[in-house]
């Protein structure tokens, strides 16, 4: 049994979702960069008709910097929320709830804990011996 499963985390499911999310994010990033580039160029051309080209370039650059800062703040907020949700999922898992009780029991009954640990290791070795 995987340690992540004890905490209620399904790693293969996360890998599948993560792979799909990575491909979608890569496509979105490339198209967003192209869209922002063309929009900035179009904005520069439009502003060059009214202002000097240097001033128009500074206006476009400042606007893009402001958009980037707003996006970074939003990304930080989303990451903080995801981190809080992961902590809540781990703290509410059965393994974390049972761990203090198991440690207390193991400290009081060391021989029993040693037998249970030996049986667990033996079971794990027997299960993994056929995989190799």
Q: Which residue has the higher pLDDT, 49 or 109?
A: 49
C-beta of residue 90 within 8 angstroms of C-beta of residue 7: yes
pTM, entire model: 0.47
Residue 6: predicted pLDDT: 56
Domain that holds residue 41: 3-92
The C-alpha atoms of residue 71 and residue 27 are separated, in whole angstroms, by 18
Looking at the structure, do residues 102 and 72 belong to the same domain, yes or no? no
What's the whole-number mean pLDDT along residues 95-118?
75
Looking at the structure, do residues 39 and 100 belong to the same domain, yes or no? no
Looking at the structure, do residues 120 and 88 belong to the same domain, yes or no? no
Looking at the structure, do residues 21 and 60 belong to the same domain, yes or no? yes
Q: Which residue has the higher pLDDT, 95 or 125?
A: 125
Q: How many domains does the chain have?
A: 2
Helices (H), the chain: 3-6, 11-50, 53-91, 94-108, 110-129
Q: Could you report the per-residue pLDDT of 92-103, keeping only the tens digit for each? A: 666 666 777 777
């Amino acid at each position: 049994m995987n340690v992540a499963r004890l905490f209620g985390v399904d790693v293969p499911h996360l890998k599948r979702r993560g792979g799909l999310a990575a491909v979608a994010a890569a496509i979105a990033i490339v198209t967003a960069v192209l869209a922002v580039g063309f929009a900035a160029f179009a904005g520069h051309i439009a502003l060059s008709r009214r202002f000097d080209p240097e001033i128009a370039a500074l206006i476009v650059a400042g606007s893009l910097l402001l958009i980037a800062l707003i996006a970074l703040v939003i990304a930080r907020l989303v990451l903080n929320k995801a981190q809080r949700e992961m902590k809540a999922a781990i703290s509410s898992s059965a393994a974390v709830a049972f761990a203090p009780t198991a440690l207390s029991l193991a400290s009081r009954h060391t021989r029993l804990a040693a037998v249970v640990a030996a049986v667990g290791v033996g079971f794990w070795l027997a299960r993994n011996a056929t995989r190799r």
